Amino acid sequence: MPFLSRVSTALLLVTVNWQAARGADPLLKHFPEAANSGCMKCHAGIELIREPDSQMMQQIMERGRELGDPAGCVVCHGGNPNETEDKVVAHGGEDATDFYPAPGSPWINQHTCGQCHQKHVDVQWTSLMMTEAGKIQGVCWAFGSMTGYKHRWANYAVQNPDDPQARLGTEEYRQYMEQLKQIEPNVFVDSHEPLPDALNVDELERLQEDTTLAAFTYIRQECQRCHHAVKGRQTRGDFRGIGCSSCHTPYSNEGFYEGGDPTIDKSATGHMLVHSIQGTREAKVTVHDTTYSGIPVETCTTCHDRGKRIGVSFQGLMETPYHSPFAADGGPQPALHTKHYIAMEQDVHYQKGMTCQDCHTSIDVHSDGFLAAANLASVQIECADCHGTPDKYPWELPLGFMDEFAMKPAEGTPRGVAEEQLPHTLQGHVHEPRDGYLRTARGNPYENVVRDGDEVIVHTAAGKDLKLKPLKKLIEEEAISERGLVAMQGVSKHLDRMECYTCHSSWTPQCYGCHVKIDYSQKDKCPECNESMEGFDWVAAGRKHEEPEHQSDRGEKGYDTIIPGKVFEQRSYLRWEEPMLGINGEGRVTPLAPGCQPSVTIIGEDGKPILLNHIYTTDPGLERSEEGQLAIDMSPTQPHTTTKNARTCESCHASRKALGLGIPGTRPWDEQHIVDLETVEGKILPDKYQPQMEPVKNLSHDWSQIVDEQGNQVATVGHHFQLSRAFNRAEQLHISREGTCLACHQEIPDGSLAVSFLHHVAQYTGQLPTTNEQHSGLVHKIMMMSAWLQFVVALAIPVLVIVAVRRWRRGKRTT
């Protein structure tokens, strides 16, 4: 080795040792020969992409040597590892298409990640995280059911493979999914068309004739920033990668790089935290002096902080319009995902150290290669898959239990356990199956969840091995509370018709009334306007990546995908406690939360309103309405706020809100409200006043009401699946126990002689109940006495009849 080269290598190793002392885990520390790569002239100190003794790292280094790069960088990034002077040449040249700054990008990852993970790359375009077809259909629904129940559009044109056997999963799973496709053909579609373009500046006059065209501006600017084909909004809490790197590279909420590569500006945001891959239990990531494995929940909440807000809810964060409490410097609470939060109870799984990937399978997130256009369609897991039921272990349940898409529980032979993982998951951590891998409701192996006798072990990606006892074993060991036994066994219909999380969700974010303003004011058409209203089109940005010269771009910075119109959003009010209930697409009782509930205001290019506080209606005949239903949706949801303690019986059976009858207290929304000096008759005294609240003209009830007391639905409930709906009249009557207290207290203290006597005896002897426990004991005592009395009477009557008949016959013989 020439002297200067040896000196250069020595200096690199000094840099590496310094970085290692600071807590980074540099590549050169473990692979000194990498110093001979031209890449290391600039990037010395960069940390390992995987731990040094991992099979993946060994394969990268071996492949790197084959490509002439002892550092292995070109395996993922391409470029020229022999160039040490000219950065442009090292990165492939001026017009390079084979240099990949963001190797996880779906636009080029067939050349990078796909070298080893071809199946995952193949299915990425059918993933719901890529198509976002459910979100698109939801907004179109809110703008007047533009596509009805059909999930017509996605971010990009995509279609299913021709061969049904191309679907990843077991044969039972494939058959199961074909059955679901027959049940819900509008969700399990064969193809998606590309989302239409938003209006350009020269087309804005079309809004005068068709205001629903504004939906495409709303979707493209506000809703689609999270799909995997773009890097997305780069603000606090939203920093992430693109494609595979959206999940598999760590980004902090602040977006700073804290690794050892000296070429990366550590004062600039938008960079990964360290140059390492996160994923399964085997993939260890070192940040300073801490090593972890798995994908942190905060990676998922980069996107899952809007809509149903399941990511932040899982963490115990509830959105609030207030900026308190104040920060350490006396300023407002810092915005996270552009929002502010209050701390709520965290999901019990989160508290136990589980992350999203410990429940959600590879197929849930990556896709099985076939289109599923809504969350409920793409997720294959149910609570009972691990916890079972009071009378059956998970392996004793039939396939489809709690995933029926029907109005009765699934029946069939026990699902058993699986002996092997799915082949495409074997590159991840392979757990010892013990007595077999549990199976999901749809028939695939649950690869990190195994049976161990009558217990279950959940192997988490973070390295924990959590042992749980299924419900059946807990009941055998008398470890379930009386309240739990009553709810699950005493009222067995609960488990036949309800989701477990209907009772076990401790809170649900409820954001009532989404007031959307889309302002198309253009300064050349609006004299009062200082600037034209415009925004960034995320779908157009994604499609720009399709162009050869932009396929390798690491993000969308500098893209000219600006479209006219700017979106503003406000809420009517927020709640978190005890959500209302309804029926979801699986036919089960579920929590409901506001989905897309827009009251739309559209400002034309001249700065004047075209539409003001308008709620669209669905087409006639949809959602159980001949005239068309208000297109403000109450969406079935899994809140991801599970706790051991369930909501109380009263919170459902004595709650008008739970039945869907709404939250009382608001005045009519379809009336104008004026606040000023007025007479007691309501006459406004000044001539100069302005309305405080303009009407939402076709909203005659509260945002929270979805059904009236006659069982007529007054808003939409879910817009993806056929079975989702509000409770009908018969179900309302069956559930409601409102006013039950009157059944007793209408006679107390002196409504009848017997009650008056007992009441006064109890009063003067100090036996009147004063606590809930005493009251419950009294009611139980009365019920038992009444039951035994009626039982004795019912038993005594036939005995007395028999005795009387015998005496009569005996008497007749003697005469």
Residues (pLDDT < 50) of the chain are 1-8, 10-11, 13-14, 17-18, 20-21
**Distance in angstroms (rounded) separating the CA atoms of residues 358 and 788:** 50
Q: For 118, phi and psi rounded to 5 degrees?
A: -60, -40
DSSP helix/strand/coil, 516? strand
**Distance in angstroms (rounded) separating the CA atoms of residues 610 and 691:** 19
Residue 662 near residue 702 (C-beta atoms within 8 A)? yes
**According to the model, what pLDDT value does residue 23 have?**
52
Phi-psi region of 738 (alpha: psi -120 to 50; beta: other; left: phi over 0): beta
DSSP helix/strand/coil, 361? coil
10 Å CB burial of residue 663 (0-12, 13-18, 19+) is middle
Which pairing describes strands 510-519 and 598-603: parallel, antiparallel, or unpaired?
Answer: parallel
For the stretch 238-284, pLDDT in tens is 999 999 999 999 999 999 999 999 999 999 999 999 999 999 999 99
Q: For 128, phi and psi rounded to 5 degrees?
A: -65, -25
Q: For 581, phi and psi rounded to 5 degrees?
A: -120, 160
**According to the model, what pLDDT value does residue 24 have?**
67
**Distance in angstroms (rounded) separating the CA atoms of residues 502 and 580:** 10
Q: Which residues pair with 716 in a beta bridge?
A: 633
Which pairing describes strands 562-564 and 534-536: parallel, antiparallel, or unpaired?
Answer: antiparallel
Residue 435 near residue 448 (C-beta atoms within 8 A)? no
Among residues of the chain, what percentage have pLDDT more than 70? Answer: 97
**Distance in angstroms (rounded) separating the CA atoms of residues 53 and 61:** 11
Sequence-separated (6 or more) residues with CB below 8 Å from residue 659: 580, 581, 707, 727, 732, 735, 736
Residue 613 near residue 650 (C-beta atoms within 8 A)? no
Sequence-separated (6 or more) residues with CB below 8 Å from residue 304: 310, 311, 312
Compute and round to an integer the Cα radius of gyration of the chain. 32
b/e string for 319-345 if b means 16 or more Cβ within 10 A?
beeeeeeeeeeeeebeebbebbbeebb
Q: Give the largest Cα separation in the chain, rounded.
A: 138
Residue 595 near residue 570 (C-beta atoms within 8 A)? no
Which pairing describes strands 581-583 and 317-320: parallel, antiparallel, or unpaired?
Answer: unpaired
Q: For 455, phi and psi rounded to 5 degrees?
A: -120, 175
State both tokens at 37: 């790569």
**According to the model, what pLDDT value does residue 10 have?**
47
**Distance in angstroms (rounded) separating the CA atoms of residues 443 and 414:** 11
Strands (DSSP E) contained in 231-323 are: 284-287, 290-293, 317-320
**According to the model, what pLDDT value does residue 1 have?**
43
Residue 618 near residue 629 (C-beta atoms within 8 A)? yes
